[in-house]
Amino acid sequence: MNVPNYLKKTVKVKLDVDEDDKDKLLGTFRQFNRSCNKVVEAGWNKSGDKNYNKMELHEETYRDIKDELDLTANLVCSARNRAAEAIKKVVQGWSNGKKASKPQFDKYSSILYDKRSATIKDRYCTLSTVDGRIEAEYVIGEYQKKHLDDKNYEFRSCTLNYERDKDEFYLHITIRKPVLYRNEGNVLGVDLGMKNIAVTSTGKFLGEDMRWQKNHFFRVKKGLQGKGTQSAMRTLKDMAGRENRYTENKLHNISRELVEEAEKHNCKTIAFEDLKEIRDKDEKFNSRLERQLHSWGFEKLQKFTEYKAKEKGVEVVRVKSEYTSQTCSKCGHTEKSNRNGSQFKCKECGYEVNADYNAAKNIGTRALPSDKSSDGLSHGQLALKSGTLNPTAA
């Protein structure tokens, strides 16, 4: 199935701006944000209901702003949109019980540019200012070059930021390209668990050391909390940051390895279990705390994997997780006592194997199409340690 979908990225580039152009840009910042504030005034002064209707705000403010300031029509509209959205955000926040007050734009809040107000090239851009258009080259590294040179990406919009402390301008360029999902290929099943964070149907065990490291963090934190001193509190704060970075980094690595494994086995699909379901089930977790900790991590891992897989044209699906740990991946027999901790032994056929690996195969099998489609394409087999297996034989 070809699902039209886009891969979106934001590339941050520093601009090489000379002194003259710098003044023009700073003037543009001041006027842009001034007009944002003017639109907010118009939308906010209405007694009772706040107005964030873009058309109405346009009617009300466009002429005045255009007459008073030197902004181009496009930037006036962009400022109006930005202000309207800021008001909308506050009003929506209120209905969700959030406290928020009238939006206010700082002199140097960022400017939104679109295709008409900015031209984005591979190595430079041109931007509308209050005094004509300026051209600025990028100061970039390999990462930015790689994306800007990829002709499949198209420019969508960008935000110009002025970093006052450094006195530098940065452009955050949003680009996108269509994802071409693979038509043919196999399915990689992935089981998420406590001991090994991820186990694949191809027999790869990932993230075994994470539990140990997490426990280590937990013990140290507990010790520090007991102390209650100021320096202990500071260390605790540092530790929280370190733990977050450790976890993110680890999950990124695991997701990268999952996608590599899928590519290696010529897969078009990576199948996970649906987290909404396992959250309600205790069989995987020893305690509520573990469940909370890990469902958070699992969600991130699935998202990271989905994003990285997209880049390779591999889709991520989620299947029902019910009985995946109690069912024999060889004969299909389901019985609770088939599983004993980390071991799986089928009461029916005697198949004996690591329990997470058995579950990974079941998850993968569930993502296989139930019948052969009529389009003549191969819709995949389950990727296993040694080659593939037909769903009927699995």
Rounded to the nearest whole angstrom, what is the least distance from the CB of residue 187 to Zn ion in the complex? 20
Of 267, 272, 268, residue with least CA distance to 298: 272
* Residue 132 three-state SS: strand
Q: CB 270: neighbour CB atoms within 10 A?
A: 29
Given the complex with Zn ion, which of 316 and 346 has the nearer CB atom? 346
Residue 331 is a binding residue for Zn ion (CB under 5 A): yes
CB under 8 Å to 306, separation ≥6 — which residues? 316
Residue 335 is a binding residue for Zn ion (CB under 5 A): no
Structure tokens at 9: 């990225």
Candidates 24-32, 183-191, 258-266, 348-356; binding stretch for Zn ion (CB under 5 A): 348-356
Rounded to the nearest whole angstrom, what is the least distance from the CB of residue 393 to Zn ion in the complex? 13
Given the complex with Zn ion, which of 31 and 324 has the nearer CB atom? 324
Candidates 62-70, 154-162, 347-355, 381-389; binding stretch for Zn ion (CB under 5 A): 347-355
Using CB under 5 A as the binding criterion, the count of chain residues that bind Zn ion stands at: 8
Task: Spell 356-373 as b/e; 16+ CB within 10 A means b.
Answer: bbbbbbbbbbbbbeeeee
Task: Spell 302-335 as b/e; 16+ CB within 10 A means b.
Answer: bebbbebbbeeebbbebbebeebbbbbbbeeebe
Candidates 136-144, 187-195, 331-339, 373-381; binding stretch for Zn ion (CB under 5 A): 331-339
Of 349, 330, 394, 382, residue with least CA distance to 200: 382
Given the complex with Zn ion, which of 78 and 358 has the nearer CB atom? 358
Rounded to the nearest whole angstrom, what is the least distance from the CB of residue 327 to Zn ion in the complex? 9
Q: Single out the residue of 87, 160, 206, 328 in contact with Zn ion (rule: CB under 5 A).
A: 328
Candidates 86-94, 203-211, 320-328, 354-362; binding stretch for Zn ion (CB under 5 A): 320-328
Residue 347 is a binding residue for Zn ion (CB under 5 A): no
Rounded to the nearest whole angstrom, what is the least distance from the CB of residue 329 to Zn ion in the complex? 8
Q: Single out the residue of 73, 180, 349, 377 in contact with Zn ion (rule: CB under 5 A).
A: 349
Rounded to the nearest whole angstrom, what is the least distance from the CB of residue 337 to Zn ion in the complex? 13
Structure tokens at 190: 């992935």
CB under 8 Å to 236, separation ≥6 — which residues? 221, 224, 225
Residue 346 is a binding residue for Zn ion (CB under 5 A): yes
Q: What are the angstrom distances between the C-alpha of 393 and each of 273, 317, 322, 365, 372?
A: 22, 22, 21, 11, 15
Candidates 120-128, 263-271, 294-302, 321-329; binding stretch for Zn ion (CB under 5 A): 321-329
Rounded to the nearest whole angstrom, what is the least distance from the CB of residue 196 to Zn ion in the complex? 22
CA angle 200, 203, 207 (to 5 degrees): 60
Contact 123, 138 (CB under 8 A): yes
Rounded to the nearest whole angstrom, what is the least distance from the CB of residue 346 to Zn ion in the complex? 3
Candidates 74-82, 296-304, 310-318, 349-357; binding stretch for Zn ion (CB under 5 A): 349-357
Q: Single out the residue of 6, 217, 246, 351 in contact with Zn ion (rule: CB under 5 A).
A: 351
Candidates 50-58, 87-95, 317-325, 340-348; binding stretch for Zn ion (CB under 5 A): 340-348
Rounded to the nearest whole angstrom, what is the least distance from the CB of residue 361 to Zn ion in the complex? 12
Given the complex with Zn ion, which of 284 and 330 has the nearer CB atom? 330
Contact 254, 297 (CB under 8 A): no
* Residue 384 three-state SS: strand
Residue 54 is a binding residue for Zn ion (CB under 5 A): no
Tally the residues of the chain.
394
Task: Spell 221-235 as b/e; 16+ CB within 10 A means b.
Answer: eeebeeeeeeeeeeb
Q: Single out the residue of 211, 300, 333, 345 in contact with Zn ion (rule: CB under 5 A).
A: 333
Q: Give me the residues that bind Zn ion (CB under 5 A), please.
A: 328, 330-331, 333, 346, 348-349, 351
